[in-house]
Amino acid sequence: MKLEDTKRIVIKIGSAILFDPISGSLNKDWLNSLAEDVKFLREREKEVIIVSSGAIAMGAKDLNLDMKNMKLDMNQAVSSVGQIHLMSSFKNAFEQNEIKISQILLTLDDTEQRRRSINARRTIDTLLKLGIVPIVNENDTIATTEIRYGDNDRLASRVAQISSSDCLILLSNINGLYSADPTNGEDIKLIPSVNEIDQDIEKMIGESISKYGKGGMKTKIQAAKTAMLSGCHLAITNGSIMKPIRSLFEGRPCTWFEPNKSPMAARKQWIAGTMNPVGKLVIDQGAADALKKGSSLLPAGVKMIEGVFERGDVIEVCSEDNKKIGIGLAGYSSTASKSIMGHKSDEIANILSYSYREEMIHKDDLVLL
């Protein structure tokens, strides 16, 4: 994997990296070096998304509480305290490098439920277009299940999936995947590249944990499975050094998990092969020709709508002679679509009193048959 070839990179930061193991305080020097790394990436025209742990650990430190003895309700309350301090620290570090950030709070449900994941994707896309770095955190305050070990590894892989990122970097306290658990002191070697996660790879997973983080290699492998299925390259590398991303560019040891398809190919395969259409759009010849040239489907080219569907549902696209042209994700509900079909995109807001987007189906959400 050549990092120079990537376009959109997700960086996941664990609590064990953010906090000094001796003092228990936030490692501000390290966070400043990460901000310099992000500036380094942006100067090379890379889009960057960060998924960070640390709200609970920071809240517990601020309130002088022992994390190990806290139950779910206390975790939720403490995270709301820590989140303020965490984002303030990110803001200070990134502003020193003239980088604007935003905060996005997500749960795994937000990434797995189709309509909510589409909303999250559009928000991330818009922020990146504005030149803003989204900082994504687990929304621990409203979590309805136990805050479990490894949630943010899995969350990072889901964020990479919904944002069609082509690279996910998991910053850990270990160089990568080893042939055996390195804590056992055995004769081990670092695995530089993995093309398939099979039983041999599963056997290499250790169970080590840290004082502040709840993660380990097991959930990182689970994250790698999701990333690879999404067409996203994933690296596990030691992030405890200063400027860990630039170091990775310079060839620092790591383990790369290599997919066999691109993010867009994986997304379109998911659209075409995993869901049944619940509605249909009939379009004119001009719109059909535009789709074949790689354009999105605009409301002006829609002649008729069949079925009842909501925004984000899978629908068919057919020609006026009822020939199936493609399949995609609806940008508007069937009710809204009927109101705006045949109209220009700049009329949508006046007709509906709101506007999600200019397209009935965006080209990234459309598979031509």
CATH number at residue 254: 3.40.1160.10
The residue range of the domain holding 357 is 275-368
pLDDT beyond 70 at 73: yes
Q: Quote the pLDDT of residue 298.
A: 96
Q: Both 157 and 28 in a single domain? A: yes
Q: Quote the pLDDT of residue 181.
A: 65
Q: Quote the pLDDT of residue 206.
A: 54
Interval 22-35: pLDDT, tens: 777 889 999 999 99
Task: Let me know if residue 194 belongs to a domain.
Answer: yes
Number of domains in the chain: 2
Q: Both 37 and 170 in a single domain? A: yes
Q: Both 236 and 282 in a single domain? A: no
- The residue from 263, 294, 316 where one domain ends is 263
In the numeric block, the tokens 């009822």 are attached to: 322
Q: Both 228 and 352 in a single domain? A: no
Q: Both 95 and 237 in a single domain? A: yes
Task: Let me know if residue 310 belongs to a domain.
Answer: yes
Q: Both 312 and 224 in a single domain? A: no
Interval 226-259: pLDDT, tens: 888 889 999 999 999 999 999 999 988 899 999 9
Q: Both 254 and 315 in a single domain? A: no
pLDDT beyond 60 at 147: no
Q: Quote the pLDDT of residue 274.
A: 57
Confidence tier at 214 by pLDDT (50, 70, 90): very low
Confidence tier at 3 by pLDDT (50, 70, 90): confident
Q: Quote the pLDDT of residue 143.
A: 58
Q: Where does residue 85 rank: exposed (0-12), middle (13-18), buried (19+ CB within 10 A)? A: middle
Q: Both 280 and 247 in a single domain? A: no
Q: Mean pLDDT over residues 90-114, rounded?
A: 88
Q: Both 190 and 336 in a single domain? A: no
Q: Both 248 and 348 in a single domain? A: no
Q: Both 208 and 325 in a single domain? A: no
Q: What phi, psi does 352 have (nearest 5°)?
A: -100, -10
| Best CA proximity match to 102, nearest among 91, 92, 111 | 91
Confidence tier at 182 by pLDDT (50, 70, 90): low
Task: Let me know if residue 268 belongs to a domain.
Answer: no
Task: Let me know if residue 166 belongs to a domain.
Answer: yes
- The residue from 263, 293, 319 where one domain ends is 263
Task: Let me know if residue 47 belongs to a domain.
Answer: yes
Task: Let me know if residue 269 belongs to a domain.
Answer: no
Task: Let me know if residue 270 belongs to a domain.
Answer: no
- The residue from 216, 233, 263 where one domain ends is 263
Return the bridge partners of 123, or none. Answer: none
Confidence tier at 150 by pLDDT (50, 70, 90): very low
Q: Is 0.75 topped by the overall pTM? A: yes
For CA atoms 43, 45, 46, 52, give the dihedral sign. Answer: positive
Tokens of 197: 């996660």
Q: Which residue has the higher pLDDT, 76 or 208?
A: 76
Task: Let me know if residue 66 belongs to a domain.
Answer: yes
Interval 270-328: pLDDT, tens: 777 655 789 999 999 999 999 999 999 999 999 999 999 999 888 999 999 999 999 99
Q: Quote the pLDDT of residue 273.
A: 67
Q: Quote the pLDDT of residue 338.
A: 96
pLDDT beyond 80 at 267: no
Which residues make Cβ contacts (< 8 Å) with residue 305, sequence separation at least 6?
Answer: 279, 280, 281, 282, 334, 337, 338, 341
DSSP-assigned letter for residue 280: E
For 310-358, give the secondary structure using H, E and C: CCCCEEEEECCCCCEEEEEECCCCHHHHHHHCCCCHHHHHHHHCCCCCC
Confidence tier at 6 by pLDDT (50, 70, 90): very high
CATH code, domain with 343: 2.30.130.10
Q: Both 241 and 347 in a single domain? A: no
